[in-house]
Chains A and B, each alone.
Chain A
Amino acid sequence: MTVESWIQVWYALPVLLRGLLVNLELLLGLLALGLVVGMAVALVEVYAPRPVAAAAVAYEWFFRGVPELVLLFLFYFGPDQFGVQISAFTAAVLALGFRSSAYQSQIFRGAIQAIPAGQMLAARSLGMGRLRAIWHVVLPQALRLSLAGWSNEFSSVLKDTTLAYGIGVVEVMRQARYLTARNFRLALPAFIAVAFLFLILTYLGNWTIGLVERRLRIPGLEVRR
């Protein structure tokens, strides 16, 4: 590890950052997908009739049980078998997004079930239908309670975006590999640089979530730290 190799990595930083941007795009895509689907799965598990709820539980079991790389490969190579072409990026968003939805659903389910039953009763006694009561009374409280668990999921999937490397998405790991393929002496500095970038992102992300948490804080609904 010479000073020379550090300098080379420094000059390659824009390339690494371009790769990192792809990781961020993956992250946004998979978090959004995971949020929407995860919330739906949680609501179904808590409120839907038994058979429907059981289907949601099976969904969650599948996506929490299958290794991430296997999911990536299934989503990338699977559609091809049916003549559907799908980009590696899309496959990664879908595979990681559905997987995250399974984890996020458990965060939301726990939070929804932590809201006392009296809240729903009070809403219904005013004449609100079930959906309206969930939307205006249960969810605003449950989402606040979810933030702590959600920041955990965020840190976890942020790093998972590098797994998209496995199906050929040109993200930061792939860029680092290009660098080191030309010159193996760059391996250590290059991957230390990648590690460093993720440390910074994790910090910034959790800082932002903490900010949101403080902004949304309400007396009586604080997430205990």
Chain B
Amino acid sequence: MGQLLVVEGVCKRYGAEEVLCGVSFSLEKGETKVIIGPSGTGKSTLLRCINRLTEPDRGRVWLEGMEVTAPHANINKIRSQIGFVFQDFNLFTHLTALDNVRLGLLKVKKMGRKEATERAQAELARVGLAGKADAYPAQLSGGQQQRVSIARALAMDPKLILFDEPTSALDPELIGEVLGVMVKLAHEGMTMLVVTHEMGFARSVADEIVFMERGVIVEQGPPEKLFRAPAHPRTAEFLRKISELYGEAA
């Protein structure tokens, strides 16, 4: 298969609640796919099932033809190839920005200290934070923290980065700086799967948009099509609500 990521029939249930029921889609190398959908629909759960931070009940996931969900898969190795950017950043509180970016290089990739430091500095520069290497997370704004967390993901040379609402915890004036970095990454050819409510970003950067509701994919397609002529009434209704909420013409 020529796909970088293939997700096939992923199901996840919490107690009686079926959070994901048979989600399938795939991602080509260099593609940016945006997932949208109402709260509680299972978007975060889906992202976590992809690198098995949450163990799916059923279904399979492949990364570059290698099965992530295989029982004996080396999951730590696989995770090190999939970046994950969290809504609330989750930077390591006790480490400086530089050490946050360096930790995975030193302890997972076993890179030498000098090389890791240079790489970490380069990644911080890439997200516009070269001057903040020695700052602790508590000394950074939300937007800066999220950019450090993107640098932390980038440093691992991931094949794919998963973003779980990367700007939802940010003050409006800080959203732009994070989206700016993500737009740049998309143009550089990074493969990205992004859960977001930022329709402007979705419209301008996404190759494809996936609309999810109650654990299933309702509709997916290129942004022009989804925004202009959604095939499903639920999609239209959601887009209308979102545009009211975020004040963007959909």
Interface residues of A (CB under 8 A from B): 116, 118-119, 121-129, 132, 136-137, 140-141, 144, 218-221
Contact = CB atoms under 8 A, between A and B. Distances in A.
B196 to A, nearest CB: 18
B108 A121 contact: no
A144 B94 contact: yes
A141 B90 contact: no
Contacts of A126: 79-80, 103-104, 108, 152, 156
B95 to A, nearest CB: 8
A132 B80 CA distance: 14
Given A127-B79, A132-B107, A122 B86 contact: yes
Given A127-B76, A127-B104, A128-B108, A118 B94 contact: no
Interface string B35-77: 0000000000000000101000000000000000000000011
Interface residues of B, number: 29
Nearest to A142: B94
B88 interface: yes
A119 B92 contact: yes
Closest 10 CB pairs of A and B: A220-B138, A127-B80, A122-B90, A118-B90, A125-B84, A126-B104, A219-B138, A127-B79, A127-B108, A219-B136
B58 to A, nearest CB: 22
Nearest to B52: A124
A127 B53 CA distance: 10
Interface of B: 51, 53, 76-84, 86, 88, 90-94, 103-104, 107-108, 136-139, 149, 152, 156
A216 B162 CA distance: 34
A119 B94 CA distance: 10
A133 B93 CA distance: 13
A61 B139 CA distance: 41
Contacts of A125: 51, 53, 79, 82-84
Given A118-B88, A122-B86, A221 B94 contact: yes
B22 to A, nearest CB: 25
Contacts of B79: 124-127
A49 B91 CA distance: 28
Contacts of A124: 53, 79
A127 B104 CA distance: 8
A136 B53 CA distance: 18
A94 to B, nearest CB: 34
22 contacts: A116-B90, A118-B90, A119-B93, A122-B84, A125-B53, A126-B103, A126-B108, A127-B77, A127-B78, A127-B79, A127-B104, A127-B156, A128-B76, A129-B76, A136-B107, A137-B92, A137-B94, A137-B103, A219-B136, A219-B139, A220-B136, A221-B94
Nearest to A222: B138
A221 B156 CA distance: 26
Nearest to B84: A125
A121 B94 contact: no
B156 A121 contact: no
A10 to B, nearest CB: 49
A136 B103 contact: yes
Contact of A121 (B78, B81, B86, B138): B86
Nearest to A216: B94
A127 B155 CA distance: 13
Contacts of A121: 53, 86, 90
A141 B156 contact: no
A144 B108 CA distance: 24
B107 to A, nearest CB: 6
A129 B80 CA distance: 11
